[in-house]
Amino acid sequence: MKPLQGVRIVSVEQFGAAPYATMLLADLGAEVIKIENAAIGGDPSRKTGPFMLGPNDSEYFQAFNFNKKSVSIDLRSEEGKASLRDLIASADAVINNLRGDLPAKMGLDYKSLAAIKPSIVCVHLSAYGRNNERSAWPGYDYLMQAESGLMHLTGEPNGPPSRLGAPSIIDQTTGLTAAVGLLSAIIQARSSGKGCDVDICLLDVALHQLGYVATWYLNEGHASSRQPRSAHYSVAPVQTFPASDGWLFIMCMTDKFWAALLEAIEKPELAKDPRFGTQALRQANRDALTDIVDGVLSKKSTSHWLGKLNGVLPIAPVLDLAQALDNPFLQQTDMIREVDHPVKRLRVLANPIKVNGQRLDQSPCSQFGADNDTYLPAVAGRAVTP
């Protein structure tokens, strides 16, 4: 039995952020009913290429929608709106990633639904939030990276600002945040009998990822900037280093790891070098230290250094996408799974959560509207109870 078995979630969602949240919950056993707008042919990501799985399904779509059921409703019609409300009445939570001004207009907020089900949890995932001057603005992941300062902090110091390499990192982080908010509110609703509105927006989550550099600026006026070689802001050596055939990331976060590095590169004299005697001094003299370590590491291969340093200090090879996904270690950990899709067998990433040491089962999202017969009769009082 999966941890969230018995939890029913209705999701008015499309593209990445809310679908990522509900996919995590579906993997954990929640019954996720994905509401797809029949008037526009469903979630637009079904048609997002280049790798299609039929005329109205794609690998992009499935990457965010495993283990969900698909119900198609014309959300513009009164009948469709009534069907949605009745379906929500059987749920623990309803989540949407509509523009911030739309949930209230569509009757998806707690004020609108409390009379139907006092314990319903209403989760709103939007670009800028629901109750401010930007509530009607559209917004996407990359815009949040730009405005939050994340883009300005990414890349080499002499290069242009860059977005984070993962295609939807703020969408997915916002989805994670939404999943936590949704589950927390369900726990409260089950004990109190009263639901609530839960709001998460992309810009807030992007800003939250600034972490301690935000705290430094807000309290000390210190504005962090891009660091060479993806280096840490205050600890050295923590950065990329070249081997003879590639790159390594080494993290000497403690004096213990610094000592282990010196032993491995056969430079014990650096321990007595006054420029590098403390963490603060190593950071202050990082350029000189980088030159010395470069000169040693660049003479031998990544496999040589990994052989000497794996398990001794924190180190990893810098892999390209193909190398990362073809890494034999992922086979050992069962991080790459196969699921049966009607078109072909799909290789996919597993949910990162294990329960009792086991990976969670995954299956493709239903085809567009395939679960109407199962769920929409409930609207007429003929079918399933939660």
**Domain check: are 257 and 124 in the same one?**
no
Q: List the structure tokens of 217.
A: 């600026």
With a cut of 50, say whether residue 385 has pLDDT above it. Answer: no
Q: Is 214 a domain residue?
A: no
Q: Is 223 a domain residue?
A: no
Going by pLDDT thresholds of 50, 70 and 90, the confidence category of residue 378 is low
**Domain check: are 56 and 162 in the same one?**
yes
Which pLDDT tens digit goes with each residue over 283-309? Answer: 999 999 999 999 999 999 999 999 999
Q: How many whole angstroms separate alpha carbon 238 and alpha carbon 240?
A: 7
Residues belonging to the chain: 386
Going by pLDDT thresholds of 50, 70 and 90, the confidence category of residue 377 is confident
Q: Is 94 helix (H, G, I), strand (E, B) or coil?
A: strand
**Domain check: are 152 and 201 in the same one?**
yes
For the chain, what is the domain count? 2
Which pLDDT tens digit goes with each residue over 40-97? Answer: 999 999 999 999 999 999 999 999 999 999 999 999 899 999 999 999 999 999 999 9
Going by pLDDT thresholds of 50, 70 and 90, the confidence category of residue 381 is very low
Which pLDDT tens digit goes with each residue over 219-276? Answer: 999 999 999 999 999 999 999 999 999 999 999 999 999 999 999 999 999 999 999 9
Domain range holding 269?
A: 228-242+247-317
**Domain check: are 12 and 151 in the same one?**
yes
**Domain check: are 184 and 297 in the same one?**
no
Q: Is 327 a domain residue?
A: no
CA dihedral angle for residue 176, residue 181, residue 184, residue 188, rounded to 10 degrees: -160
Residue 301 CA, distance from chain mean position:
33
Which amino acid makes up residue 229? R
Summarize the confidence of residues 276-283 as an average pLDDT.
Answer: 97
**Domain check: are 344 and 280 in the same one?**
no
**Domain check: are 345 and 300 in the same one?**
no
Q: Is 215 a domain residue?
A: no
**Domain check: are 125 and 267 in the same one?**
no
**Domain check: are 354 and 308 in the same one?**
no
Secondary structure element (H or E) that encloses residue 96, with its range: strand 93-96
With a cut of 50, say whether residue 313 has pLDDT above it. Answer: yes
**Domain check: are 130 and 204 in the same one?**
yes
**Distance between the two ends of the chain, CA-based, in angstroms?**
16
User: Residue 284 belongs to a domain with what CATH number?
Assistant: 3.30.1540.10
**Domain check: are 270 and 339 in the same one?**
no
With a cut of 90, say whether residue 38 has pLDDT above it. Answer: yes
